[in-house]
Amino acid sequence: MVKYNPKTWFSLIFHSYSRHVLKTLLPALLFMVGFSLVVCFTILDYFDLNPSEFPGTTAVHSLLGVVLGLFLVFRVNSAYDRWWEGRKMWGGLVNSTRNFALKLNAYLSREDHESRDFFARMIPNFVFAMKEHLRTGVQFAELESTDDKFLEGLRKVKHKPNRISAQLYSQVNQLYKAGVLTGDQLLTLDKELKDFTDLIGACERIKNTPIPYSYSMFIKKFIFIYLITLPFGFVSTFEYFTVATVMLVSFVLLSVELIAEEIEDPFGRDINDLPTDELAKRMRENVREILL
């Protein structure tokens, strides 16, 4: 995720991300430039039509542009809602890990180094496992092993965060049975453990429920039809300047759709995705500082 100052206009206008978007859209923009040139050459030179004789008009595309603009607004808003909800879930995870560690710090004796070390490792392990579970799979090198069988057992299950959460529940229950924790303390800790499951479930809902297929398909179809017919509407007014006009309009519309595609899945590694790597490292530091 890019950190920036929204008040620095020039640095935002010429930011490297603009080059990234341009590079991604370059094939489509080159196609539209070539197509526009062919349309202009065919109408103006090959058939040698006077621009005033060709029945093209910008009025239709102006009206369609308003409708398409509304569609794109809904598209970007729906994508941003998913991004922001994901951010709220990870903000809740930050709070839950801190609360869980703070309560354990108060309940556990300072001499109970074994239990403190276990939770100092396993709470961040859940966060790191969750981070990669929402991507392509858990990276075991990021996890801190608590015993010889930890990683071996983790490799056998599909849902790694669930396995780690189950081990946290088991450890808390063992402390309760050993008399280290009271019943009231057990219930208090249960709330934080339940939050872990609720938060990852909410993130999985965002990850596994994309924008409805028909909605995404028709948005792309409308953009394509609008752009492909644009040269025919503008050639009688702008002649060969139609090429530059079409390229500019194509860049604006396609870049908006590209940004919406990027932020609708906020847990990846794209430049606009959530900074889950940084958040996970911060949570590990916070938990270790509290418990150790």
pLDDT tens for residues 216-228? 888 899 999 999 9
What is residue 216's predicted lDDT score, i.e. its pLDDT?
A: 85
Q: What is the pLDDT of residues 158-173, one digit of tens each?
A: 999 999 999 999 999 9
What is residue 21's predicted lDDT score, i.e. its pLDDT?
A: 83
| Residue 223 in domain | yes
| Residue 269 in domain | no
In terms of average pLDDT, the best of 26-35, 47-56, 214-223 is 26-35
- On whether both 258 and 241 belong to a single domain, the answer is yes
Residue 43 has pLDDT above 90, yes or no: no
- On whether both 282 and 147 belong to a single domain, the answer is yes
- On whether both 241 and 283 belong to a single domain, the answer is no
What is residue 69's predicted lDDT score, i.e. its pLDDT?
A: 85
Q: 283 and 99 in contact (C-beta within 8 Å)? A: no
**In the structure, what pLDDT confidence band is assigned to residue 1 with cuts at 50, 70 and 90?**
low
Exposure string of 250-286, with b = 16+ CB inside 10 Å and e = fewer, is: bbebbbbbebbebbbbbbeeeeebbebeebbbebbeb
- Of 209 and 55, the one with more pLDDT: 209
- On whether both 174 and 218 belong to a single domain, the answer is no
Spatial CB neighbours of 90, under 8 Å, sequence gap ≥ 6: 199, 203, 274, 276, 279
What is residue 232's predicted lDDT score, i.e. its pLDDT?
A: 86
| Residue 179 in domain | yes
Q: 120 and 283 in contact (C-beta within 8 Å)? A: no
- Report pTM: 0.86
Q: 292 and 116 in contact (C-beta within 8 Å)? A: yes
Number of domain units in the chain: 2
Give the DSSP letter string of 90-130. HHHHHHHHHHHHHHHHHHS-TT-HHHHHHHHHHHHHHHHHH
- On whether both 33 and 75 belong to a single domain, the answer is yes
- On whether both 116 and 176 belong to a single domain, the answer is yes
Instruction: Determine the distance from the C-alpha atom of residue 216 to the mean position of all C-alpha atoms in its chain, rounded to a whole number.
Output: 17
Residue-range definition of the domain harbouring residue 196: 87-209+278-291
Q: What is the pLDDT of residues 174-195, one digit of tens each?
A: 999 999 999 999 999 999 999 9
In terms of average pLDDT, the best of 9-13, 116-120, 217-221 is 116-120
- On whether both 139 and 200 belong to a single domain, the answer is yes
**In the structure, what pLDDT confidence band is assigned to residue 56 with cuts at 50, 70 and 90?**
low
Q: What is the pLDDT of residues 241-255, one digit of tens each?
A: 999 999 999 999 999
Residue 16 has pLDDT above 90, yes or no: no
- On whether both 227 and 287 belong to a single domain, the answer is no
- On whether both 163 and 285 belong to a single domain, the answer is yes
- On whether both 123 and 205 belong to a single domain, the answer is yes
- On whether both 201 and 96 belong to a single domain, the answer is yes
| Residue 95 in domain | yes
The percentage of residues in the chain with a pLDDT greater than 90, rounded to a whole number, is 58
- On whether both 197 and 118 belong to a single domain, the answer is yes
**In the structure, what pLDDT confidence band is assigned to residue 19 with cuts at 50, 70 and 90?**
confident
| Residue 230 in domain | yes
